[in-house]
Amino acid sequence: MIKIGIIGDIGSGKSFVAKLFGYPVFNADREVLSIYRKNRNCFNKLKKKLPKFIISFPIKKKELKDAILENKNNLKKIESVVHPEVQKNLKNFIKLNINKKILIFDIPLLMENRIYKKNYILVFVDAKKKDIHKKLKQRKNYNEKIIKKLRKSQLHLEIKRKKAHYIIKNKFKKKKLEINVKILLKKILKNERNST
């Protein structure tokens, strides 16, 4: 099984690139949203850690944002509760898809939380800052302060770029990106065949 981790900046189009590979994708952001909506155990733990902010179940994004904006340490508290749950879901995802040829991992903190192993192939999504900013501003719940705090909890982009096995340019042109992902996938498969 080939495991491909998609890395890059917030808003660089990682999730879109991940989908274009056409294989099962573990999307950590989607998993986190599901945990906030359905996991009462997670709610109870967060309520204990952040009683001033976490009021009722399911957990509201606004409550979490308010907590992060008030104190950057609150982000660590949230992560300490949510990440073990994401890890559990990740293990289940791998088990469920054990017979698949390729799995794609769209996990913002893939490198920071040492989730990826040596055998992961890292693909860095490279996009221009101004394009990223434009895309982020189109998001419904866009909050610049939150984005800045989240970026601070992530490894510097240059480190990610250097660690990547492949770099894919995203100019936010769908057709071009589809072609580039197909070319990249062929390259990965060829290199994997040659290395075995």
The secondary structure of residue 195, as a DSSP letter, is H
The DSSP annotation for 49-93 comes to: H-TTT--SSSPPHHHHHHHHHH-THHHHHHHHHHHHHHHHHHHHH
Write the CB contacts of 66 (distance below 8 Å, at least 6 apart in sequence).
53
Q: Does domain 1-24+100-189 have CATH number 3.30.1330.10?
A: no
Please count the other Cβ atoms lying within 10 Å of the Cβ belonging to residue 54.
Answer: 21
Q: What is the percent of the chain where pLDDT is above 90?
A: 72
Please count the other Cβ atoms lying within 10 Å of the Cβ belonging to residue 102.
Answer: 18
pTM, two decimals, is: 0.89
Q: Say how far apart CA 186 and CA 49 lie, in whole Å.
A: 47
User: What is the enclosing helix (H) or strand (E) of 44?
Assistant: helix 40-49
Task: Convert the pLDDT of each residue in 159-189 to its tens digit.
Answer: 999 999 999 999 999 999 999 999 999 999 9
Task: Convert the pLDDT of each residue in 40-85 to its tens digit.
Answer: 999 999 999 999 999 999 999 899 999 999 988 999 999 999 999 9
